Amino acid sequence: MPMTRPPSTAAKVDRRRALVQAAFDQIAQRGLEGLRLRAVAVAAGLDHSSLHHYFPTKEDLIASVVEYTTAQLWPTLRSGRSPADRIRRHLRLMAHTMRERPELFVVLCELNLRAARDPAIRAIIDRGDQDWRAFITAQLSDGAWHRAYDAAAGAELIIASIKGATFNPDTAATALRQLERLLTDQE
């Protein structure tokens, strides 16, 4: 029983989006390992064969999920009046997001892990990480950080803490709050 939907350009974009979203959800629930194209297609409301119309291969779909996921995160940057304020806001926003949208970090974690073996994913993630790193380093260099310290090293610590906090969602906010305190007490 063929369901006919308006195949306008907008619809095509919607379909792609729906598929990516569905794939994201699946990864969040069952992990990259448990990602099944059939399930994704069903969740997006179309035949598993049609999925290949939009994403010829599974890797293509995953790549889109990587882009989608990282894109969700970076808009959280950039707000705040001073460098120190921006770092503070960033840490809190991350902790907040971990509570509100834990899937985001779960999926990111999955992707980070696979990136270790998949250059294609590695590339996309690295791109995002570069921006992230640059942002934090800039704030630290710009006064959010005791001059005696190395801004780059500080950025690595912040990034590591955030990534690692993901593994224990319950205590993530606590850990990041402690980091914030440690950093601001240096000023």
Which residues contact DNA (rule: CB under 7 A)?
1-7, 11-12, 15, 35-38, 46-50, 52-54, 56-59
Comparing CB distances to its own copies, the nearer of 123 and 160 is 160
Q: How far apart are CA 31 and CA 22, in angstroms?
A: 13
Comparing CB distances to DNA, the nearer of 64 and 137 is 64
Read off the tokens for 103.
């899937």
Residues in the chain: 187
Q: How far apart are CA 136 and CA 68, in angstroms?
A: 22
Q: What are the CA-CA distances from residue 95 to residues 87, 98, 153, 161, 174 (Å)?
A: 12, 5, 21, 11, 9
- Site for its own copies contains 182 (CB under 8 A): yes
Residue 30 binding partner per list DNA, its own copies, none, with a CB distance cut-off of 5 to 8 Å that depends on partner kind: its own copies
Contact with its own copies (CB under 8 A) among 69, 114, 121, 132:
114
Q: How far apart are CA 131 and CA 129, in angstroms?
A: 5
DSSP codes, 3-25: ------HHHHHHHHHHHHHHHHH
* Binding-site string for its own copies from residue 12 to residue 51, where x marks contact by CB under 8 A and - marks none: -----------------xxxxxx-----------------
Rounded to the nearest whole angstrom, what is the least distance from the CB of residue 40 to DNA in the complex?
8
Binding site for its own copies (CB under 8 A): 29-34, 106, 109-110, 112-114, 116-117, 129, 149-150, 152-154, 156-157, 159-168, 171-172, 174-179, 181-183, 185-186
